[in-house]
Amino acid sequence: MFLNSFADLETLPSGCKAKVVRIEGGRGLVARLSRLGIVPGVEVKVVSRAPVGGPVLVEVNGARVALGRGVARKVVVEPRA
């Protein structure tokens, strides 16, 4: 599926784990996601995706965080097998 390539967090299916590669946003977004523990190098897991454009629920460092689809699109990840 996405192996050996990058994707954004919004496109990953529920249950998929991935390593954050970079965040494509300004300083404000990078700082906000950093406070939530979403930084390059950390592993995240997509817990669920709400239907019809709703938020993406991810688990990072044992905590669950809901991200809007627009924000999730700016988090570039490397999916894990």
Q: Which residues of 4-24 are buried (b: 16+ CB within 10 A; e: fewer)?
A: eeebbbbbbeeebebebeebe
Q: What is the pTM of this model?
A: 0.90
**Percent of the chain predicted with pLDDT > 90:** 84
Q: Does the pLDDT value for residue 42 go beyond 50?
A: yes
pLDDT tens-digit series, residues 20-35: 999 999 999 999 999 9
What does DSSP assign to residue 41?
T
pLDDT at position 16, please?
A: 95
Domains of the chain: 7-79 (2.30.30.90)
